[in-house]
C-alpha cells in the first residue's frame, strides 16, 4: 500500500531533484529494507520493513522509467521502454516460480535477501545516468513539493487500495470498507481541486489533455485489470482445482514469461510497420483470446492444456509494450517524472482493481453454485471461468481505447531538415538574395 500510494510523489520528486539522485536514493532504501525484511524476527518488524520497501520502490519505478524514456538516445528509447515494461510483466510471471522454489528449498527470508545483490549491481550502474535532467536552457525546477497534493493523493490511493483488498477478503459491506472507499473518493476530489489552485502541482492536470497519455493510461489500466486478476486466481485454480503443488503452479507461468521476452524485440518493429494503435490493439486482442482459451480448459486439464492460452497472453502482452512509449511521446522532458508517476500509479491500481473485479464475479458465481448444490471444486471453477471472461472483456475494451486514442492524425515523421523553395518576393534594400531556407520539423 505504501508503494501504490507514493508513486505520484515519487514521480514529482524525480522532476524536482533529478532522475539519478532519486533513483539512487530509491535503490538504497529498497535494498536496505530488503535486508531488514530478510532478518526480521517478528511480524511487526517484517511489516515495517515491507512498508519501507514500498517507499523505495515508489522512488525507483518512476525514476527508472524516466531515465529510459528521456536520457537514452532517441534511437534506443522505444526498445528500452519496451524492455522496461516487459521486465515488470516477466517479474509478475516469475515471482511465483522463484518465490515458491526459494521458500520450499531454503526459507522465506531468502525471498528478500535475493534483492540485495541486484540492488548493489544497480548502485554500481547508476553513475552512468546523467546527473541533471534535460530541459530548456536556463530552466531550473523549483525545489518545492505540493504538500496538500501529496497528502490528498496518498490518502486517496492508500484508502482505495486498503478498501478494495479488504473488501475482496471480507465483503464490501463490512466495516471499515465503505468508510475507506468514501473517504478515498472525497480525498481524490480534494486532490483535483488542490492541483488546480497551486503553482507547483504534483500532477499538472493539463497533461491529461494529451490524448496519447490519457488514452494510453486507460488502455494500460484495462490490460492490468484483466491480466493481474488472472495471475492471482489462476494460481488458485491450478492448486485447488487441478491439484498442482505451489512450485508446479508457478512453473506453469514460465513459458508465458519466455514468450513475453522473446516477442518484445519485434513489438517495436510491428508498431512501426502497422502503426502503434494497430499493433497494440492486436496484442490486446491476442491477450483476450488467451484469457478465453484458459477459461475453457475445465477441471481435467493438465500442464500442457493450459500452455496455448498462457502463451497467447505472453505474446499479446509483448505486443503492448510500446504502449508506454506512446503514453510519453508528447510529454516534455521536464515533466517526464510526473507522467511516469501517473503511469506507474495507474499500473499499480489496475492490479488491485483486477483482483477485485475478477474476485467479485468469481465469488458471486461460486456462492450461487454452492447454494444450488454444486460441489465446492466445480463451484469455484464456474466462478473462475466467469471471472476470466469478464477480464477478457476488459482487455478488449482496452483494444478499442487504443485504436481511438493512439491513432496519429496527419503525417508524423522523425525530426529532419528539409529544403523549402522561397517565394519570389523582392528582398529589402541592402539584403542579399536568399536562395533557399533550411527548416526543421520537431518530433514533438
pLDDT at position 417 over 80: no
Q: What was the pLDDT predicted at 124?
A: 95
pLDDT, mean of residues 240-263: 83
Q: What was the pLDDT predicted at 409?
A: 64
pTM of the full structure: 0.76
Domains in the chain: boundaries: 2-130+202-405, 146-201
Q: What was the pLDDT predicted at 197?
A: 85
Q: What is the largest CA-CA distance in the chain?
A: 98
**Banded model confidence at residue 245, pLDDT cuts 50, 70, 90:** confident
Mean residue pLDDT of the chain comes to 82
Q: What was the pLDDT predicted at 130?
A: 80
Which of the listed ranges 89-103, 119-133, 403-417 does the model predict with the highest average pLDDT? 119-133
Fold of the CATH domain 2-130+202-405? Growth Hormone; Chain: A; (1.20.1250)
Which of the listed ranges 224-233, 300-309, 331-340, 425-434 does the model predict with the highest average pLDDT? 300-309
pLDDT, mean of residues 181-210: 88
**Tens digits of residue pLDDT in 321-342:** 888 778 877 888 778 778 888 8
Which of the listed ranges 10-14, 174-178, 290-294, 418-422 does the model predict with the highest average pLDDT? 290-294
The CA distance from 342 to 351, in Å, is: 14
Amino acid at each position: 500500500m505504501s508503494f501504490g500510494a507514493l508513486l505520484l510523489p515519487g514521480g514529482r520528486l524525480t522532476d524536482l531533484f533529478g532522475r539519478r539522485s532519486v533513483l539512487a536514493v530509491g535503490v538504497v532504501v529498497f535494498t536496505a529494507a530488503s535486508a531488514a525484511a530478510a532478518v526480521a524476527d517478528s511480524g511487526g518488524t517484517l511489516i515495517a520493513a515491507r512498508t519501507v520497501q514500498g517507499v523505495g520502490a515508489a522512488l525507483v519505478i518512476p525514476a527508472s522509467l524516466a531515465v529510459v524514456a528521456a536520457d537514452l538516445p532517441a534511437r534506443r528509447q522505444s526498445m528500452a521502454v519496451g524492455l522496461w515494461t516487459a521486465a515488470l510483466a516477466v517479474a509478475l510471471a516469475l515471482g511465483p516460480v522463484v518465490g515458491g522454489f526459494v521458500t520450499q528449498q531454503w526459507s522465506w527470508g531468502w525471498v528478500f535477501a535475493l534483492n540485495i545483490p541486484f540492488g548493489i549491481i544497480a548502485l554500481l550502474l547508476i553513475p552512468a545516468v546523467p546527473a541533471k535532467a534535460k530541459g530548456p536552457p536556463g530552466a531550473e525546477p523549483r525545489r518545492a513539493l505540493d504538500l496538500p497534493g501529496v497528502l490528498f493523493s496518498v490518502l486517496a490511493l492508500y484508502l482505495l487500495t486498503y478498501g478494495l483488498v479488504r473488501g475482496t477478503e471480507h465483503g464490501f459491506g463490512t466495516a471499515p470498507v465503505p468508510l475507506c472507499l468514501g473517504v478515498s473518493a472525497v480525498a481524490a476530489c480534494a486532490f483535483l481541486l488542490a492541483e488546480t489552485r497551486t503553482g507547483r502541482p504534483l500532477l499538472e492536470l493539463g497533461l491529461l489533455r494529451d490524448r496519447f497519455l490519457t488514452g494510453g493510461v486507460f488502455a494500460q489500466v484495462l490490460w492490468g485489470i484483466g491480466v493481474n486478476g488472472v495471475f492471482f486466481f489462476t494460481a488458485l485454480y491450478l492448486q485447488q482445482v487441478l491439484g498442482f503443488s505451489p512450485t508446479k503452479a508457478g512453473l506453469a507461468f514460465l513459458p508465458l514469461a519466455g514468450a513475453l521476452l522473446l516477442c518484445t524485440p519485434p513489438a517495436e518493429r510491428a508498431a512501426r510497420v502497422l502503426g502503434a494503435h494497430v499493433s497494440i490493439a492486436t496484442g490486446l486482442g491476442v491477450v483476450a483470446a488467451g484469457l478465453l482459451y484458459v477459461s475453457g480448459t475445465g477441471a481435467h486439464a493438465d500442464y500442457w492444456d493450459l500452455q496455448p492460452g498462457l502463451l497467447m497472453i505472453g505474446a499479446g502482452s509483448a505486443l503492448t509494450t510500446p504502449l508506454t512509449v506512446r503514453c510519453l511521446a508528447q510529454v516534455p522532458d521536464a515533466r517526464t517524472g510526473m507522467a511516469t508517476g501517473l503511469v506507474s500509479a495507474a499500473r499499480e491500481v489496475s492490479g488491485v482493481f483486477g483482483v477485485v473485479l475478477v474476485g467479485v464475479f468469481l465469488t458471486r458465481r461460486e456462492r450461487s453454485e454452492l447454494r444450488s448444490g454444486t460441489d465446492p471444486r466445480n463451484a469455484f471453477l464456474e466462478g473462475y471461468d466467469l471471472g476470466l471472461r469478464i477480464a477478457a472483456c476488459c482487455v478488449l475494451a482496452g483494444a478499442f481505447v487504443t485504436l481511438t486514442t493512439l491513432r496519429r492524425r496527419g503525417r508524423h515523421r522523425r525530426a529532419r531538415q528539409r529544403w523549402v523553395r522561397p517565394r519570389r518576393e523582392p528582398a529589402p534594400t541592402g539584403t542579399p538574395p536568399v536562395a533557399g531556407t533550411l527548416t526543421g520539423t520537431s518530433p514533438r
